[in-house]
Amino acid sequence: MKYLIDTANLEMITKCNDLLPIAGVTSNPSIIKKEGKIDFFAHFRKIRQIIGSEKAIHIQILAQDSEGIIREAHKILDNVDKNVYIKVPVTPQGLKAVQLLKKENIGVTATAIYNKTQGFLAMEAGADFIAPYYNRMENLDIDAADTVASFANMINAYGYETQIIAASFKNMAQVNTALACGAQLVTMAPDILLSALAVPSIKKAVDDFDDDWKKIFGNSSICDMK
């Protein structure tokens, strides 16, 4: 089980990287838009600096034809680093690009997945990760849980090395269901993850423990115990 954060916000990445066991950072052009007109490559180099070399960065291309996708992928790899996973929407041109990128041994995340066929074809094309859009599927009355479970079953049945990085979440119930259905990774806006830890009952429990301790030991802490 791995958690990634779907953001390009440096402050949030720094905070989450410091506090949470995150495995990396994902983004797409709509997420980047929230940061304004950033210095694109420098921004992602900064993200690499923050999260370190062990964690993953997934960056999406914009081109819609396979040649353009390959060109953009190389530009990203040359200007950020060679370990970036290139996110490619699963269209016919995208699938062509995935196969070509894999021939060059470039890491690929097949994204914008709304149905089983897209995911199956992306596995067959050799994608390292497939990113089913969980909430967007639910908005269309597509059974997102069943879609993720089908991907997991096919990966197991046929021994694909592809992993599922479920994406597009609006709440933790969706995230936890995707994990239960076999997604090895999930990516979400940091607020969704942090909100699960911000439940008032958690704070109250911690405060109650503190009060009870103080009733016996006053201001002495565990470190003051002999």
6 binds ligand G3P (CB under 6 A): yes
CB of 21 to ligand G3P, least distance (A): 19
7 binds ligand G3P (CB under 6 A): no
* Cβ 5 vs Cβ 22: under 8 Å: yes
Look up residue 196 and give its two tokens: 């699960």
Look up residue 208 and give its two tokens: 């109650």
Q: Which residue number, 30 or 53, has a Cβ lying nearer to ligand G3P?
A: 30
Instruction: Return the closest-CA partner of residue 12 out of 25, 28, 29.
Output: 25
Site string for ligand G3P, 178-217 (x = CB under 6 A): ---------x------------------------------
- Which range binds ligand G3P by CB under 6 A, 16-24, 25-33, 44-52, 217-225? 25-33
Q: In the annotation, is 87 catalytic?
A: yes
DSSP letter, residue 104: T
CB of 38 to ligand G3P, least distance (A): 17
Catalytic residue of the set 34, 37, 46, 87: 87
CB pairs under 8 A, 24+ apart, for 168-174?
168/132, 168/133, 168/134, 168/135, 168/136, 168/137, 169/134, 169/135, 170/135, 172/196, 174/134, 174/135, 174/138, 174/144
Q: Which residues are catalytic?
A: 87
> What are the residues binding ligand G3P (CB under 6 A)?
6, 26, 28, 30-31, 131, 133, 135-136, 167-168, 187
